[in-house]
Amino acid sequence: MADGAVSEAARVLVAADKFKGSLTAVQVAERVTAGLRRVVPDLEVETLPVADGGDGTVAAAVAAGFTRHEVRVTGPVGEPVTAALALREGTAVVEMAEASGLQLLPRDGLAPLTATTYGSGELLRAALDAGARTIVFGVGGSATTDGGAGMLAALGARFLDADGEPVGPGGGGLKQLATADLSGLDPRFAEVELVLASDVDNPLTGPKGAPAVYGPQKGASPEDVADLDAALAHYASVLAASGVRDAAELAESPGAGAAGGIGYGALVGLGASFRPGIDVMLDVLGFAPALARATLVITGEGSLDEQTLHGKAPAGVAAAAREAGVETVAVCGRLALPPEALGRAGIRRAYALAELEPDPARSMAEAGPLLERAAENLARDFLR
């Protein structure tokens, strides 16, 4: 045994996120399990795919026993799309990327100024219609920067220009906003608990706001970023002038800038509470009882890097495991953290596919078999 040991009655918990672009979280768990059992055939392995509120959140909930429900909603550029939510015993997991995500658009079809969150509002309404009393609203991976105005419009809000006409879609349309009326919002939101689950804590606007930090990945040019920042600031000021409670203060609050500002829309219009996405999802997925059964935790994601340390799934898993006194190791496609940073995060060691296949394209294309090999190496070091 090279690095460390667990007891002879080892029970491994695989709680990893997706490897974006190559493997879902469910596939990661399957491949890791296969690799471990090649070395320790009778090993007890429990799998709990995890997510931090971004794309893959509904899939993780379904893997944990939630029921998948599909709904036709409005996509980010107005076309109909099929989106899914997950439901179990009155709790719904809603992933905004299912309705308004960047992955729904081709690379040459991004629409930074006009993409809308309207479909995310329709998805939230479907959760209410299905009887949800608690809604975990995972936000991330959005194609949009509209401050959640589209979402709120789908739920009954009205955003009008100086002529009394509805403003155009997307953040760009908010430049023409003259009046806002949230009185028509679905009253059922007053009866449910809505939890905004995000791995980012950015404010709505400014140098750390939604347009500046995330606009470019949605196709926004520097000029677009400036326009969107001004439009969202104007949106918040109109909401404040229209008598919306705490509209100005909430624009500065953590999570307001999540997913192109949809966080702000949920906070200001729907009474949402903000929590780090991975913390929420670990609760919802039943991580604590699974952890109590484990002697070793394996977590991971596609790239273990500086971002991982700021609210991503592996950091949340490792922190919870460390608090429970259970050792954590990680698997990843690419490792960009030194051992001391891993240690501070509670991760004993990381096994990267790049160590087995340095070519990034081949590593992604062959991620499944490579991950099994990495898991074999992990098992030799920690389970024999």
One-letter amino acid of 214:
Y
Q: How many CA atoms lie within 13 A of 217 on its CB side?
A: 12
pLDDT of residue 8: 57
pLDDT of residue 107: 86
pLDDT of residue 161: 97
pLDDT of residue 272: 97
The domains found in the chain, sorted by start residue, are 11-48+292-382 (3.40.50.10350), 57-278 (3.90.1510.10)
pTM as predicted = 0.91
Distance from C-alpha of 147 to C-alpha of 204, rounded to nearest angstrom = 8
pLDDT of residue 6: 47
Q: CB of 137 within 8 A of CB of 197?
A: yes
- The mean pLDDT values, 10 residues at a time, for the chain of 384 residues are 56 96 95 98 96 91 96 97 97 97 93 98 98 96 97 98 97 97 97 94 96 96 98 98 96 96 98 94 95 98 92 94 97 96 97 97 97 98 92
pLDDT of residue 1: 44
pLDDT of residue 80: 97
Q: Which of 375, 381, 376, 344 is nearest to 14 (CA)?
A: 375
The values of phi and psi at residue 336, to 5°, are: -125, 25
One-letter amino acid of 98:
E
pLDDT of residue 55: 86
Determine if residue 353 is left, alpha or beta; phi over 0 gives left, psi from -120 to 50 gives alpha, anything else beta.
alpha
pLDDT of residue 104: 95
